[in-house]
Structure 1
Amino acid sequence: MNDAPDAPRTYDVIVIGAGPVGENVADRTRAAGLSTVVVESELVGGECSYWACMPSKALLRPALAHADARKLPGLSRAAQGPLDAAAVLARRDDFTSHWKDDGQVDWLRSVDVELVRGHGRLAGERRVEVDTPDGGTVRLEARHAVAVCTGTTAALPPMPGLDDIHPWTSREATSAKEVPGRLAVVGGGVVAVEMATAWQALGSQVTLLVRGNALLDRVEPFAGEMVADGLREAGVDVRFGANVSLVERDGAAGEVRIGLEGGARVAADEVLFATGRAPHTGDVGLETVGLKPGGWLPVDDTLLVTGVDGGWLYAVGDVNHRVLLTHEGKYQARIAGAVIAARAKGEPVDDAAWGRHVATADHAAVPQVVFTDPEVAAVGLSAAEAEQAGLRTKVVDYDLAQVAGASLYRDGYRGRARMVVDLDRGHLVGVTFVGPGVGELLHSATVAVAAEVPMERLWHAVPSYPTISEIWLRLLEAYRG
């Protein structure tokens, strides 16, 4: 490394963005012997650690445990009171390390990855310039690869008055210090339903404003219907066909008035817009390599950006728009790190060698859990998606409440399971579970879909009794007829 003041620092690999995706790319390339530097403008650990996965689940876990306890004899009487909101928020703060990244920085040091704090931008082929907090500039050059791992930001709709009301996005929803008396949530996706679940349980009166006529439109329709029923049972005012047309706040800290098409009005103390995500690529220097700023970065299955010559620029995680999920981004990061290392060493990149295969799991075996009451856990294709893909399928449904393990879980258990079988290939292409506690069932389904386990072999995977996993036996019995 050249330490002259104006000379670029040279590394094998430069990673822009130190969220979980960037961290995993750096870990894999460094483990392969490549010198690696990470550039981060905010907190090392990224969105997931401080404003998404971890704080949101810290808010949701007490809400879901409380819901279970209230429906379990022996606990129900003790659990009738409200949650201790202050304790829940304090525990949330612990999970975010109080928005300090010392531990994550220590981890980077432990794996011998260097950190440059500041705003990083591409400055041409294999070059990155970093504007540092002290007003300086650090110039970096990569021998082999630059990986853009900058993720996404909340997408807000163009709407008169929106900037003036200081709306919540997912960040404010997971980091708020006080419980608003009334919270309006605009949206019908995962963030919307999870935050409606959490804040209703913490004491807000939540109104969920859904533009369309269903929740969670990317999973089986019955999942969204059951989540809507669960939200209403918890006290959430769920309104479909609610298209927000204007917002205004009464004074700097007054109530927010929300106008809907058709003339209806909603009043709230805060309003959360959970209306999608946009790529965080507006100011990362894409124009210097012939790409349009602000857009998604399309990649091939080795995570190499298409449309950029030289085979050096990678885009990993949400920024490539393949799958906007942390665990899939980390999967891509492991693949990208292995691919970068293989190419740096002149080794072939194939799909046969362990640790060097190209990304495939983010095409057809994507798992996701929605942490509502009831939970939704799904992997692979829905029945409609399988039909649209032209597959000849058999769809098998089963009432989860009829499984012994579910009936023991809590009184009044409501749930449903569905598996979608490709009849021509003889294996599962999709599985969906809806019900309390089903999130822990999902990995078995993911293994079955990703590994294309023949249906005849699944019959010999015996579930333990009495657990909710016995649903596998019931589904297979129904499939066999």
Structure 2
Amino acid sequence: MTTAARTSADSSTDTYDVIVIGAGPTGENVADRTQAAGLSTVIVEAELVGGECSYWACIPSKALLRPQAALGAARAVPGAREAAGGKLDAATVLARRDWATGGWKDDGQVGWLDSVGVDLVRGVGRLDGPRRVVVRTPEGGERVLTARHAVAVCTGTRALLPDLPGVAEVRPWTSREATSAHEVPGSLLVVGGGVVAVEMATAWQSLGTQVTVLVRGSGVLPRWEPFAGELVAEGLRGAGVDLRTGVSVTAVRREGDSGPVTATLSDGSELTADEILFATGRVPHNEDLGLDTVGLAGGAWLEVDDSCQVRNVDGGWLYCAGDTNHRALLTHQGKYQARIAGAAIAARAKGEPLDTAPWGAHAATADHEAVPQVVFSEPEAAAVGVTAEEAERAGRRIKVVDYEIGNVSGAYLHAENYRGHARAVVDLDRNHLIGVTFVGPGVAELLHSATIAVAAQVPMERLWHAVPSFPTISEVWLRLLEAYRDQ
């Protein structure tokens, strides 16, 4: 039976080895691994195959951010600067964003599922007891799916809107509207100081919007090393963003159906803009998943072990990979967990022991201390592992080494007046890196080397023999090691 026929079936019961709920990058990877292992697999999706990342998060946001990053890089170098006048063409930037998302059509992703032999059922999937999923199809019918071995929940998260007077009536932007809007607003209020707030403020300011960022705390990126937030805030203000800290929104209202939005602030003042974006957190997208039918609480994060098997479910048949388990809310970590979960499901289905798998394929150990993340702001911020404060709070004996990236030859050749900073956190008892943070133009591509050093627990004396090429920004590695040696 074809995928289209399966999608349109009204009332049928099908049995598969594995059912995956959610066809984002995480769900796709679980399905790919289990199908490749010889387990018949079906994936259930209520919206677009490819999920949040492909259409409303990573892909469109980076498509919006890249043009300004390229222009800024050109303007930072004399000789190129003179050829890089003018402003971004907003219409072209938005058109390229639309191209990157496939125009919010998932034909290509559906074709990929077909190519690997994974069946697709469109509709809202809901657990209905052990190993059973009922799908409410777009046509109003029901499809009942039964799993022989496993069901994997890969439903991700949704934006959290604060409980404020008037918030529902003003139809605020969340990350979805911020990455998919087809017109450039004249002004935008951004509420929040995390990654979404910083990136969307950067993107829309570059397209000509006057952006005001309202941060309840003392600065942006509060969970990062302090210098990261400071340099990123400096970059935002330098681009023209009005960044205000220590202030929160207490109420919102909109004039008419499409008029401006007014936000009342905690200091009693008011701000008005064309649109308001709340980037104030994420919650698990599982409130109507039927978790109560298997003894779990709907709307709660699902606790899993390192094989992504959900705890406290009899029979060990339920898995959860990606954001919904709250281990690391990042697409690349979700895909990593998916590979682990897929391998674990296949091994258990075949009666194979997990602890004999090569490469630690059945344990998501990187979720604990080697999670990499990039903020595509100007300047970029990139980090892996723990901060110095987190390490100290955990009682670890550490040494912290810092270096100004602009002092290496590769940096001042990369950009005139390069401004950036690097920090390495070394566990003195274990003699290896447990955290690295870079901030500066172009530092995102430095991160994987740091991730390898942290994940592999490379001894500090061995890192000395990993020689960086000259003249590149990666020479900062040598300078950090020298600082560590000389302290």
Q: What TM bracket, shorter-length normalisation?
A: over 0.9
Large movers: runs of 4+ above 6 Å: none
**1:191: which partner in 2?**
196
**2:264: which partner in 1?**
259
Say yes or no: does 1:293 pair with 2:298: yes
Aligned AA for 2:280? Answer: T
User: 1:354 Cα deviation (Å)?
Assistant: 3.0
Aligned AA for 1:25? Answer: V
**2:409: which partner in 1?**
404
User: 1:355 Cα deviation (Å)?
Assistant: 6.0
What's the CA shift string for 1:275-325, capped at 9, x where partnerless? Answer: 000100111111110111111111111111111110100011000000000
Contact 2:341 2:362 in 1 (8 A): no
**Helix, strand or coil at the partner of 2:429:** coil
User: 1:5 Cα deviation (Å)?
Assistant: 7.7
**1:131: which partner in 2?**
136
After TM superposition, the structure 1 = structure 2 runs for residues 81-230 of structure 1, keeping only pairs within 5 Å, are: 81-230=86-235
- C-alpha distance in structure 1 between counterparts of 2:274 and 2:340, whole Å: 45
- C-alpha distance in structure 1 between counterparts of 2:237 and 2:10, whole Å: 62
Aligned AA for 2:348? Answer: R
Residues 1:311 and 1:268: Cα distance change in structure 2 (over 3 Å)? same
TM-score between the two structures when normalised by the length of structure 2? 0.97
**Helix, strand or coil at the partner of 1:24:** helix
- C-alpha distance in structure 1 between counterparts of 2:454 and 2:356, whole Å: 18
Of 352-361 and 304-313, more deviation after overlay is shown by: 352-361
- C-alpha distance in structure 2 between counterparts of 1:380 and 1:13, whole Å: 33
**2:319: which partner in 1?**
314
User: 1:80 Cα deviation (Å)?
Assistant: 3.1
**Helix, strand or coil at the partner of 1:77:** helix
Of 347-356 and 271-280, more deviation after overlay is shown by: 347-356
Aligned AA for 1:231? Answer: L
**Helix, strand or coil at the partner of 1:185:** strand
User: 1:352 Cα deviation (Å)?
Assistant: 5.2
User: 1:351 Cα deviation (Å)?
Assistant: 6.7
- C-alpha distance in structure 2 between counterparts of 1:247 and 1:72, whole Å: 43
Aligned AA for 2:208? Answer: G
User: 1:252 Cα deviation (Å)?
Assistant: 1.0
Contact 2:431 2:460 in 1 (8 A): yes
- C-alpha distance in structure 1 between counterparts of 2:341 and 2:131, whole Å: 16
User: 1:372 Cα deviation (Å)?
Assistant: 0.3
Residues 1:417 and 1:5: Cα distance change in structure 2 (over 3 Å)? closer
Say yes or no: does 1:356 pair with 2:355: no
- For structure 2, list consecutive stretches of 5 or more residues without a partner in the other structure: none
**1:71: which partner in 2?**
76
Contact 1:208 1:238 in 2 (8 A): yes
User: 1:74 Cα deviation (Å)?
Assistant: 1.3
- C-alpha distance in structure 2 between counterparts of 1:454 and 1:362, whole Å: 21
**Helix, strand or coil at the partner of 1:135:** coil
**1:235: which partner in 2?**
240
**2:255: which partner in 1?**
250
After TM superposition, the structure 1 = structure 2 runs for residues 3-22 of structure 1, keeping only pairs within 5 Å, are: 8-22=13-27
- C-alpha distance in structure 1 between counterparts of 2:12 and 2:97, whole Å: 43
Say yes or no: does 1:28 pair with 2:33: yes
- C-alpha distance in structure 1 between counterparts of 2:358 and 2:413, whole Å: 44
What's the CA shift string for 1:108-144, capped at 9, x where partnerless? Answer: 0000000000000000000000000111100000000
What's the CA shift string for 1:77-134, capped at 9, x where partnerless? Answer: 3323111101100000000000000000000000000000000000000000000011
**2:431: which partner in 1?**
426
TM-score between the two structures when normalised by the length of structure 1? 0.98
- C-alpha distance in structure 2 between counterparts of 1:475 and 1:356, whole Å: 32
- For structure 1, list consecutive stretches of 5 or more residues without a partner in the other structure: none
Corresponding pairs, count: 480
Aligned AA for 1:53? Answer: C
Contact 1:342 1:356 in 2 (8 A): no
Identity of aligned residues (%): 71
